[in-house]
Amino acid sequence: MTDIEAANQVPGEAERTSLEVLKAFLERGATLDATDKAGDTLLHLAAIRGYDTIIKFLADRGMDLNVKNARGLTPLGASMARRRGAPRATSAGSEPTPGVEPPRSSSTTALLLALGAK
């Protein structure tokens, strides 16, 4: 995505698109237990980006809200670290994705706590 495309993106579009892609993968047999090189699950990645609809979707499907990544962070911990302005809690050396909206960490943290995350 170019900078111009990112600037013209409708707010919430990246989250809605990501949720639709996730649903399509699941319909085709994908599982929810995969991790990346940093040990981040889909919940970690959604928490870092502030994608509350995806967090709710994954929680409704039984994903462990307290799973830890390779750095020992739960999705709640990753959300809180991002909110404090800590370096991005994903794979080392990775850059933010163009067009990805800034995290809505306060709502994300509140959602994770309401769902029972520790």
- Owner of token pair 């709640």: 76
CATH number for 64 = 1.25.40.20
Q: Could you report the per-residue pLDDT of 1-15, keeping only the tens digit for each?
A: 566 766 666 778 999
Q: Could you report the per-residue pLDDT of 42-90, keeping only the tens digit for each?
A: 999 999 999 999 999 999 999 999 999 999 999 999 998 877 765 544 4
Residue 45, both tokens: 């990645």
Q: What is the DSSP string of 55-102?
A: HHHHHHTT--TT---TTS--HHHHHHHHHTTPSPSSSTT--PPTTPPP
What is the number of other CB atoms lying within 10 angstroms of the CB of residue 113? 13
Question: How many independent structural domains does the chain possess?
Answer: 1
Closest to 9 measured CA to CA, from 97, 83, 91, 104: 97
Domain that includes residue 65, residue range:
3-90+98-114
Residue 91's pLDDT is 45
Does residue 31 have a pLDDT over 80?
yes
Residue 106's pLDDT is 85
